[in-house]
Structure 1
């Protein structure tokens, strides 16, 4: 009899270990600044608050979509039945992922990161707890998350076309905007290029497309084919959550802001990224697509500098 592979919904072995990198940074803060426990606690409260907003905001949007009958319905034939208990566990896992990345991103940077322009610490923390999770559930990660380099047959070309077109679009729009005076030319630092092309976008894809989609797809199977990719509720829900997270923003000081344009763009990109992940069954093309708009803007600014 074949042994069942452990995944985030049928084992709790990963739940506490993924907190270790976050706890290590908090301990480091308290060691370096014994009186700074209040600031550390405030960061956790801010992060947990943002996670709650994202989770409940996503639930509200999905309920509205359901009420309006916009969500993808089942195709021909009967949909795969999944036990309701496992569905709720999958939703809880997705919410926990949102909480983890929210906490990682709201902890004040340690002295080694303070001189940097971007919040590298939060993204590196994301990468560390992801490494713990994927290491513990390595068999499931290789099979379902999309860590493999080999893409689904016939999927490389459409994925590369989409990535190249997105890069070209944003690079061209940036050059045009500066040329017409709609936006000022801005210098692009080496750090900005590195940030836009490496760890930050990779961690977001591993969280929002890799792990989260793999968990949701298992309980919400794809119901329709879109341009060669089997998609369904899982892609929609993860995209909505991604969009809500980019609509309601909070900084390290606890200042809340709204960005409707940013949220709509993130939702649209989430759908495209979800399509690429579903079409290729690999997280790497999604990572490249995630980088494409930002690198496109950077290259455009370099060209007009």
Structure 2
């Protein structure tokens, strides 16, 4: 069994039994750093320790055996009596396990770089030459999954994102309008992200719900406080305060040029956000102070 797959199963065990890593270590009489290495996917337990762990689970989940570790993740989740979530259930029917595992590792390492409240700028589909603003809250949930909600006036798209290499692949839904949105955004390699850019595909609010692809630049406007309810209120306040239609000449020229370059006369109908010209970045250093 791959260490990363065992780590996911161990996280499910901890959740199912409502026990911490330290509590499990104490019950198994092993060092808590060892349990931490199991949970991070650094190593898998020795045969002796796996036997101890299995016996510990069997005392709490009737009939649990060593063979249960060989189950695939959805079956293992069900064996523990947990409901399969989107990542553990339906998503595995159409996204390869290797990509889900890589996205999970990426989120554990780098999700905090993207957490915050953002304002996005994109072209208006109805008013040529004008721009629209959206507000988005991005955070990592307790299971290490990147979640987000995007709002403009009364519309709310809620979804999840997969961090693969330096790109965020996102999918979201507006339940009231019964429609979906897909996006691919350039990320940052090391630093905390301050600017992101990418492409988003959704349907217009016209009579035919026409599909449209928008080039978007996102700027961080606030960090998260750590209080989920408080952060939700900050997000809703930002949506309420934001005029969705950007005032004329407010959008900086460099943003206008960057969004304009996604379409070119020689490739009609094709939108591109080239990585080599991406605006995605972390904090900018002050040349005078170096900070």
TM-score, normalized by the shorter chain, greater than 0.5: no
TM-score bucket (shorter structure):
under 0.3
TM-score by length of structure 2 reads: 0.27
Of structures 1 and 2, the one scoring higher in RCO (CA 8 A, sep 6+) is: 1
Task: Flag the structure with larger Rg.
Answer: 2
Query: Which structure: greater strand fraction?
Result: 2
Query: Which structure: greater helix fraction?
Result: 1
TM-score by length of structure 1 reads: 0.26
